[in-house]
Amino acid sequence: MSTLTETHSGSTTSPVEMTYRQAVNAALEDEMAADEAVILLGEDVASSGGVFKTNDGLAERFGAGRVRNTPICENTFVGAALGMAVTGMRPVVEIMFSDFLPTAADAIVNEVAKFRFMSGGQCSVPLTVRSIGGGTGRFGSQHSATGESFLLQAAGLKIATASSPASAYATLRAAIRDQDPVLVFEHKALYGRRGPVVRDLGAIPPVGRARLVRNGSDATVVATLLMADRTLAAAEQLAPEGIDLELIDPCWLRPMDLPAIEASVGRTGRLLVVEEQVHAGGWGATVISHVAQSGIRLRAAPTALSLRDDVLIPYCPPLEDAVIPSVESIVAAARRLVGQPVTTA
Amino acid sequence: MMADAERRPVVDDSRLLTWLRKMVEIRLFEERVQELFMEGLIQGTTHLCQGQEAVSVGAVEALAPADYLTITYRGHGHALARGMSLESAFAELMGRSTGCCKGLGGSMHLADFSIGLIGAFAIVGAGVPVALGAAVSSSARRRDSVAMTFLGDGGTNIGTFHECLNMAAVWKAPLVVVVENNLYGEYSPLATTTAVTDIAERAGAYGIPGVIVDGQDVQEVHRVAAEAVARARAGAGPTLIEAKTYRYRGHSRTDPASYRPAGELELWKQRDPIELLSTTLVERGVLPAEGGARLREEVQRAVDESARRAAAAGYLDLEEMKACVYAD
Amino acid sequence: MPSMSQGMETGIVVRWLKREGDHVERGEPIAEIETDKATMEMEALVRGTLIEIVRHEGEEVPVGNPIAAIESAS
């Protein structure tokens, strides 16, 4: 699980340029076409392509029986999806905003995650829950969490994040194909990003495989979702200064590709995690903990760049921008880590 | 909307005897579980259903083999009624590898996919959406399976119960929801936590039929459940059944049920479901005059033997257990 | 002294409901036992005669220790 690649050999399909939103739509469409057990459910999923337009055309192509609008009752429709998953279906549930996941916390933590285990392995739960999260949209505290670490403690779940069109397509298809329950986190600020997508099941990396976004030698940066996107921009800004960042997008938070991350840190000797969440109890802390336990010789102490102090996301636009790691703050953190002077605080 | 005994369709005698045997099996199983707990062979906690046997047997017997069932942590009766073997159930409660869930679930989580028992839940109300999902799955796959779920009176106050009735009604899901109203939600009498006296009234809020039945009369329970199952299978959507019943024991093993008024238990024991059916069968000449004494002895021997075999089995090892977390 | 709840280490005999020489049925309450959770009735595990009371009212007894002897009727 330790070789990283962005694109995969073994696929004869050419990559197509599309947006992240279109990539999600393509993954859903290709899964629904390949397997009639795949069924979508959630609030407004069938209404004009869904609130984020990720489901465009699906109800028209596959019918109302396979793209179902639910009432507003997350705990119940996730629980119902569990019942479907153990009786021959492969449901994909959409939670409109990742902030709403706690509304379904019981169904996810106590039922979905534990179901196979409590049954002594009698069933598997091929269920996917997609949720859309993240800040910068000025949506306020209850519509801005990424949610990616909310359920990290729940063994029995797999958790994935999508940071680019290619990884959105690949991760979502891998999640739907997997026999276990997977939470997939998308970021609303990434929907317009363009990138190449290989629309082929054969091109999809295995579950748990991290993505090497950028090769580098001075420091390993681990980042997900919008932070991966911003880190890439920061890396491009730092390259002419002679600071060469290696960027790893873990893609999967559960199970996480720790061998790949550790191998990279072993080469660069420096670790920075960039996360759009508080540090406590998040995946960033898990990465740093594992690197510390591994005994890898480091050239500098590991650093976490998280939400500014222990805050929540405000509505106020300049304050929202101030609390979420920006390209500038990532540049400054990388400079500090590599030992360079920081020109702005 | 009390069920009408005169209009009852005829169930043949051998079937009634089967129901009697099942109820006796549940009663004696629960008694043995109590003893095994005190002996330390069953640990943690357990929730017993003596007094409520007619509800599990009557309703579960209305299901076809391909139908689905979800139950609660007070689910030993439903599991046995559905056809789980005594040994599999005892072994599960004792944590043995020969238990239905290899000992990983325990008393509150009996499941056996081979008999359509797709889950038992410790979280109040959690079984209702899962049954709803199985019902929706059945229609989506163009099968004619029905899903039945059981919960207690207390469970009808939790959000998901209401959400499920609404969604099941809107989607016309082939779901039957059976509420066992035993007058207490854990230690609290119904009136202190629940805004209605008859749970079946709640069905009206979701535009579905709500039926009240005497939970101590297994024939009545069966009649009402069979009607609801037939409705569901015909595509007419969900039904809420409220069975009025009573639990002889406390909520769980550590509850002496001292919150009950004096005499209440004795009053309900006068309508013991096993006695009621035995009396009917003796009157009809199906059971000899000594009633069910011989049947009881036979079942007791089977219960004792199953418990003994279950206790002789070993436990899963850690590696085998780890294989049950993820499928892939 | 039976294990009447998970983690119970001792129980106090609050009251004997039967006397030496009494006949008891399987499942019949024969004593009240106080645990740290609640006071509960203890039932006879066999049918027979209560021939000896070993521990008396007010005594605290560890789980697993004998508190009475019943000669079972076969």
Has residue B323 been placed in a domain?
A: no
Classify residue B225: in a domain, yes or no: yes
Confidence of residue A5 (pLDDT cuts 50, 70, 90): very low
- Choose, out of B69, B93, B146, B160, the residue to mutate when testing the contact with A (most A CBs < 10 Å): B160
Average pLDDT over residues A128-141: 95
- Label the pairing between strands A219-223 and A245-249: parallel
User: What would the pLDDT profile of B10-47 be if each residue is shown by its tens digit?
Assistant: 789 999 999 999 999 999 999 999 999 988 899 988 99
Q: Tell me whether the CATH fold assigned to A16-203 matches the one assigned to A211-338.
A: yes
Residue with the bigger pLDDT between B193 and A7: it is B193
- Residues of A marked active site are found at 74, 143
Contact B22, B80 (CB under 8 A): yes
Q: Is the pLDDT of residue B2 over 50?
A: no
Domain assignment present for B320: no
Is C62 an 8 Å CB contact of chain B?
no
Judging contacts by C-beta atoms under 8 Å, the chain A residues touching residue B119 are 86, 111, 115, 118-119
Residue C7 pLDDT > 90: no
What's C38's domain CATH number? 2.40.50.100
Residue C71 resides in a domain = no
- Interface touch B253/C43, C-beta < 8 Å: no
Residue B255 lies in a domain: yes
- The number of distinct structural domains making up chain C is 1
> Do the chains contact at B40 and C38, CB–CB below 8 Å?
no
CATH code where residue B47 lies = 3.40.50.970
Q: Rounded mean pLDDT of B120-126? A: 95
**Would you say residue B322 lies in a domain?**
no
Q: What is the DSSP string of A209-246?
A: --EEEE--SSEEEEE-HHHHHHHHHHHHHHGGGT--EE
Quick one: pLDDT band at residue B258, thresholds 50, 70, 90? Answer: confident
Is residue C73 one of the residues assigned to a domain?
A: no
Asked if A10 and A203 touch (Cβ cutoff 8 Å), the reply is yes
Instruction: Give percent above pLDDT 90 in chain C.
Output: 58
CB contact under 8 A, B111 and A119: yes
Whether the complex's predicted ipTM surpasses the cut of 0.90:
no
CATH class of A211-338: alpha beta
The domain spans of chain A are 16-203, 211-338
In this predicted structure, the answer to whether residue A176 has a pLDDT above a threshold of 90 is yes
Residue B197 has a pLDDT of 94
The pLDDT of A197-205, averaged and rounded, is 93
Q: Residue C8: its pLDDT value, please?
A: 83
**What's the average model confidence in pLDDT over A243-270?**
98
For chains A and B, count residue pairs whose Cβ atoms are closer than 8 Å: 153
Indicate whether B109 belongs to any domain: yes
What would the CATH number be for the domain defined by A16-203? 3.40.50.970
CA distance A128 to chain B (A): 14
**Number of separate domains in chain B:** 1
Q: Does any domain span residue C46?
A: yes
**Å from C55 to nearest chain B CA?**
18
Cβ of C4 within 8 Å of Cβ of B40? The answer is no
Q: How far apart are CA B307 and CA C30, in angstroms?
A: 24
Shortest CA distance from C1: residue in chain B: B38
CB-based contact, C41 to chain B, within 8 Å: yes
- Which pLDDT does position A277 carry in this prediction? 97
Has residue A259 got a pLDDT over 50? yes
Nearest CA distance, B266 vs chain A (angstrom): 37
Residues of chain B contacting C43 with CB distance shorter than 8 Å: 34
Residue-wise pLDDT tens digits, A19-65: 999 999 999 999 999 999 999 999 999 988 888 999 999 999 999 99
Residue B295, domain extent:
5-184+196-315
Position A4 pLDDT exceeds 70: no
With contact defined as beta carbons under 8 Å apart, do A90 and A32 qualify? no
Question: Per the CB < 8 Å rule, is A75 touching B134?
Answer: no
Query: Quick check: helix, strand or coil at residue B152?
Result: strand
**Residue B147 within any structural domain of the chain:** yes
Q: What percent of chain B has pLDDT over 70?
A: 97
Between chain B and chain C, how many beta carbons pairs sit less than 8 Å apart? Answer: 34
Tell me the mean pLDDT in the region A299-317: 93
β-pair partners for A247 = A214, A221
B36-40, B195-199, B215-219: least confidently modelled range: B36-40
To the nearest whole Å, the CA of C40 is away from the closest chain B CA by 5
Q: Which two tokens stand for residue B255?
A: 């509850």
